Amino acid sequence: MHILKQVDRFLEKIEGHLIVLILSLMIVLSFGQMLLRNFFDMGIVWGDTLLRQWVLWVGFLGASIAVRHDKHISIEVFSGLSSLFWKRIIKAFTRFSAGIISGFLAWAAWSFMLFEKDAESVLFLNIPVWIFQTILPYSFMIIAIRFIISGAVFFENSSGQALK
């Protein structure tokens, strides 16, 4: 588990740096588009398409980091339970469930990406669509792993409390 957490921290650093890089490039590209359109009546034809793809990347990388820090959207129906033991069991169960569902989504995203690769679709500048879609299976798989790690931690804490 310790090695998994170290890999997770390393991936988080890479994801954070990638978000900063992509956001910086998005700002430069969108500002450049604005200048070109307003002052020169022209623009970069593929600029808006690239910006949309980068929004997808930033969103999925942000979702992955949100799961890492337990800042994702969650609905806690049973939050009023009085026992800390049962709260941890329910959290572990919901995290494992979210991990399994995210794993299925990763598999579906992988299949979708391979379909686009086989179709040889091109987004712009002869860059294949599937290259931009790699973020989908990656992020869903990392989210699944992070949910399962989180569930294991909650389960470990609840079982340790039950023994005391």
| pLDDT tens digit sequence for 110-132 | 999 999 999 999 999 999 999 99
Instruction: Give the Cα separation of 27 and 96 in Å (integer).
Output: 37
| pLDDT tens digit sequence for 28-82 | 999 999 999 999 999 999 999 999 999 999 999 999 999 999 888 877 776 676 6
- Strand, helix or coil at 1? coil
DSSP annotation string for 41-86: S---TTHHHHHHHHHHHHHHHHHHHHHHTT-S----TTTT-S-HHH
DSSP annotation string for 107-145: HHHHHHHHHHHHHT-EEETTEEHHHHTTHHHHHHHHHHH
| pLDDT tens digit sequence for 6-40 | 888 999 999 999 999 999 999 999 999 999 999 99
pTM of the entire predicted model: 0.86
Number of domains forming the structure of the chain: 1
Please state, as a whole number, how many other Cβ atoms lie within 10 Å of the Cβ of residue 151.
20
Residue 138 belongs to domain spanning: 2-163
**49-72 per-residue burial string, b: 16 or more CB within 10 A, e: under 16:** ebbebbeebbebbebbbebbeeeb
pLDDT for 51: 96
